[in-house]
Amino acid sequence: MPQFRGHPTRSIFDDYCVRARNAMVDHAFHQIVTDQTDTVVETELLALVAQGVRSFNVFLTYDSLHVDDAQSVRVLANARRLKPT
Q: What is the pLDDT of residues 38-79, one digit of tens each?
A: 888 889 999 999 988 888 889 888 888 888 999 889 988 888
Specify if 1 maps to a domain: no
Specify if 67 maps to a domain: yes
Tell me the C-alpha distance between 20 and 16, whole Å.
6
Look at the chain and report how many structural domains it folds into.
Answer: 1
Beta strands in 1-85 (DSSP E): 30-32, 55-57
Q: What is the pTM of this model?
A: 0.78
Specify if 46 maps to a domain: yes
| Residue span of the structural domain in which 37 resides | 9-82
Specify if 3 maps to a domain: no
Specify if 2 maps to a domain: no
